[in-house]
Amino acid sequence: MSLIERLREYAEHETPTGAVDALNAFADRLVLRYGELGGTARRVPAPTGDHVVADFPGRGPRAGDAPLLFLGHHDTVWPIGQLEQMPWREEDGVIHGPGVFDMKGGLVVLETALEQVADQDHRPVRVIVTADEEVGSPSARELVTAESAGVVAAFGLEPPHPNGDLKTSRRGSTRVRIEVTGREAHAALDTSSGVSAIDELVDQLIAVRALVSEYDEVLCNVGTIAGGGRTNVVPGRASAELGFRFVDPETERAVLDAVTGLQAAREHAVLNIQVISSRPAWQTSAAVDELLAKVASAGRSVGQKVGGAAASGAADTNLTGWLGVPTLDGLGPLGKGAHAVHEQVIAATLAERVALVAAIITTI
């Protein structure tokens, strides 16, 4: 099966985050495929969909070396049925479809590279494919932490920068949920008995905005708001989910301590503030620079120029980078439209990325 045929097969198997049956069926595909390629693969149970871990033995004099780790995910942001609005199609060298860029293209790149190096000398390779990356990998954090122990370097299969550069650091990313419990009452006849959860939530969001404004490089997005029911009832419940982005761990800790320590502005209003998921900031280092130099050398061996730059988005590589494992991300094919209806990859870059990943496996 060709690269493009397999990518189509993967894209047409829709796998939204949280769709347990669909994710587990895709995990079975991966376990089977990794077994065909000579790896030992297993599903790691999780309530929202199983993760996959695979180990591929080294070959030749480097068989006993520490492994390389590759990180991917098989969940997407798209619901079941998105193919009706975003059907697979290939036009003018561009492939369109849900998940082709983020990040089933990266999964296909890796397995094809593993197939190509099967008869060449290389160190062992470990692969982790998570099932809830798009919501911060809350069920996979311990798995990634455990499986990254002892590896020599980690590589992410997420999309690269638009020019093809790899990602050498990532902002920390944390999701916080603010829940407010107030007291319902008739909005006209018994107003004084009511405690508006919505009013309290609005005030808390204003407080968060003021807090964030004290830091130059902190991003905050209020992603969802819910609450209330009728205009003649003082609302008794309201909630919001916020996404924060941080450049460094110190600022992350300071902001999250302040946010989770917020106090209700109204008597009898009750706040419940929870961190739903958290990816620590991954900062570049001399070890990352050294790894990038090695990858650039591997790229030159296959006629490619490889660069690197910091990235704003977060992924599972945040964790390996934060843990001190030399890490690079962005080995997926070039394209655009992550999380957008125009999601696409440039078909020719699939084979280019395969060549680069194969060179990484056999030279680093």
pLDDT single digits (tens) 169-189:
999 999 999 999 999 999 999
Measured distance CA(116)–CA(138) in Å, rounded = 33
Q: What's the whole-model pTM score?
A: 0.90
Residue 130 is predicted with a pLDDT of: 98
Confidence class for position 249, pLDDT limits 50, 70, 90: confident
What are the backbone angles phi and psi of residue 110, rounded to the nearest 5°?
-65, -50
Residues 70 and 157: their CA atoms lie apart, in Å, by 7
Angle between helices 249-260 and 197-212 (to 10 degrees): 160
Determine the average pLDDT of the residues in 274-299.
95
pLDDT interval class at 32 (50, 70, 90): very high
Query: What does the pLDDT average to over 277-303?
Result: 96
Q: Which residue has the tokens 């397995």?
A: 111
d(CA 44, CA 118): 25
Torsion region of 250: left, alpha or beta (phi above 0 gives left; psi -120 to 50 gives alpha): alpha
Please write the tens of the pLDDT for every residue from 115-138.
999 999 999 999 999 999 999 999
Which domains does the chain show, CATH number per domain?
Answer: 3-170+282-363 (3.40.630.10), 172-279 (3.30.70.360)
* Band of residue 1 on the pLDDT scale cut at 50, 70, 90: confident
**Phi, psi values for residue 26, rounded to 5°:** -70, -40
Nearest to 134 by CA among 79, 81, 69, 70: 79
Query: Using the 8-state DSSP alphabet, how is residue 106 labeled?
Result: H
Contact 333, 356 (CB under 8 A): no
Q: What is the mean pLDDT of the chain?
A: 97
Task: Please answer whether residues 237 and 197 qualify as being in contact, where contact means their C-beta atoms are separated by less than 8 angstroms.
Answer: yes
Rg from Cα positions in the chain: 23
Q: Cα separation of 321 and 283, whole Å?
A: 7
